[in-house]
Amino acid sequence: MSPAQDGDLSRFRILPVLQPGEGRALALAFSCNFVLLGLYYILRPLRDTMATVFGSGQLQYLFTLTFLATLACAPLLGALASRWRLTQWLPGVFAFWLFNVLVFFALFTLWRDNPWVAGAYFIWFSVVNLYMISVFWSLMVDLFTTAQATRLFAFIAAGGSLGAIVGPIITSQLVRMVGINGLLLLAAAGLLLVMLLVKWLIREKAVLQSLGGGAQQSTFDHELAGGSLDGFRELLRSPYLLNQAAFMLLMTWVNTVAYFLQTDILTSHLQGLEARTRVLADIDLWVNIFSALILLFGLGRFVQRFGLTAGLILNPLLMMGAFVAVLISPSLLVIQAIQVVRRVGQYAIARPSREMCFTVVEQVERYKAKNVIDTVVYRFGDVSAAWVQTGMRALGSGLGGVVTLGLATSALWASVALSLGRRFGVLRREADRGG
């Protein structure tokens, strides 16, 4: 084969270029993210279905309670990480969430249509889903170096997107046969498998380190220094982490604008919990198909060619264009399209790009400060955006006002993304000089 032909074929390469010893770690990470996002997308449509029990007029209260629960859980997890070795803490948190799923299985069996149970599930999953994803990516940035992350993270994220394709298919096809309770049991089995994969990934880090520089040089056989509030302290004293928090906050504002629009549409057009669950699962399916294609064939090479800053800023720019389209033509089809664009951009572009930023910080920041940003800051963005929109509706603001808010937030988000990318570049060069 000629060099020209080989270059043409490399454009369609799915697997990233691997260094010695990386293959098994990459396969385990890919598989773990596949299972994790698969069970996530079994549990998520149930959460969004519970939201329709209340309607968009009550979402601000659910978002407020979710934020308070998230705020309470962050120091608790931080305290446990300071008392348990990471080899115990990492699989232990997934074991606890498995127990939670079994509790909700019992509650839905006894009180299926109880609004208190529906509200409790909405709040529980809205808290836990962020922690599950955050803990997984904390493990990834503590396993792989920055250079490895640039090559491997898009493929690992693609594993999640493929799992997120399978999850909605399972939900859509099985919900009528096994009901909500059957889906909960299936998700519990998935959490058990995630626990096993996390244990294997922990052991794999020592293998990579033995090959010389093929992993982060930190270890898992110790507790994290400090106490329960160290995540907040690290965040407040680091301009780089504050920049990441601002990126997360503005991203969630954009997300919440789109979520309110989605809830209004489903409440007014569909009756019945199963029907709404099927529609939400179908939307998830198409979003994750596009996300998987981007991650498998585009993002890794995009970041290597144009840099991390381009990966960070691309999603805000896409959302600015999407909101402009809604202002020009506020139709049902366009409003639904903005949800697809937002979620594809977030999962396929913003998430893996943002995770790479944590490869240049210390281990305690990867778990504790990152945990605060991924959960508390995220949910603060949710609740603050929810109450702002509630106030705008009370003042008579219609669709145009809400979309204008989304457009302005996206523009500010792009500015913050540019600053974050530049700060990452400085820290990476400093890390490279330090060996």
Number of structural domains (the chain) is: 1
The pLDDT mean for the chain works out to 80
In a domain, 55, yes or no: yes
CATH of the domain at 41: 1.20.1250.20
Assign 339 a pLDDT band (cuts: 50, 70, 90): confident
At 179, the amino acid letter reads: G
C-alpha distances out from residue 203 to 6, 118, 139, 221, 276, Å? 36, 39, 12, 10, 42
- Lowest-pLDDT range of 39-48, 53-62, 174-183, 351-360: 53-62
Residues 63-84 have pLDDT tens digits of 788 888 888 888 888 888 888 8
In a domain, 11, yes or no: no
C-alpha distances out from residue 151 to 295, 299, 318, Å? 11, 10, 24
- Residues of the domain holding 117: 22-433
Q: What global pTM score does this model have?
A: 0.81
In a domain, 288, yes or no: yes
In a domain, 140, yes or no: yes
In a domain, 7, yes or no: no
In a domain, 3, yes or no: no
In a domain, 294, yes or no: yes
Q: What is the pLDDT of residue 2?
A: 42
Residues 407-426 have pLDDT tens digits of 889 999 999 999 999 999 88
Of 30, 337, 24, nearest to 161 by C-alpha is 30
Q: Is the pLDDT of residue 427 over 50?
A: yes
Could you give the CA distance from residue 419 to residue 267 in angstroms, rounded to a whole number? 39
Residues 232-283 have pLDDT tens digits of 888 998 999 999 999 999 998 888 877 776 666 666 666 665 666 666 666 6
In a domain, 156, yes or no: yes
Residues 196-237 have pLDDT tens digits of 999 999 998 888 888 765 778 888 888 887 777 788 888 998
Residues 340-365 have pLDDT tens digits of 777 777 777 788 888 888 988 888 88
Residues 353-396 have pLDDT tens digits of 888 889 888 888 888 889 899 888 988 887 888 788 778 777 77
For residue 376, the 8-state DSSP code is I
Residues 120-150 have pLDDT tens digits of 888 888 888 888 999 999 999 999 988 888 8
Sorted by sequence, the CB contacts under 8 Å of residue 349 that are 6+ apart come out as 294, 299, 311, 314, 315, 318
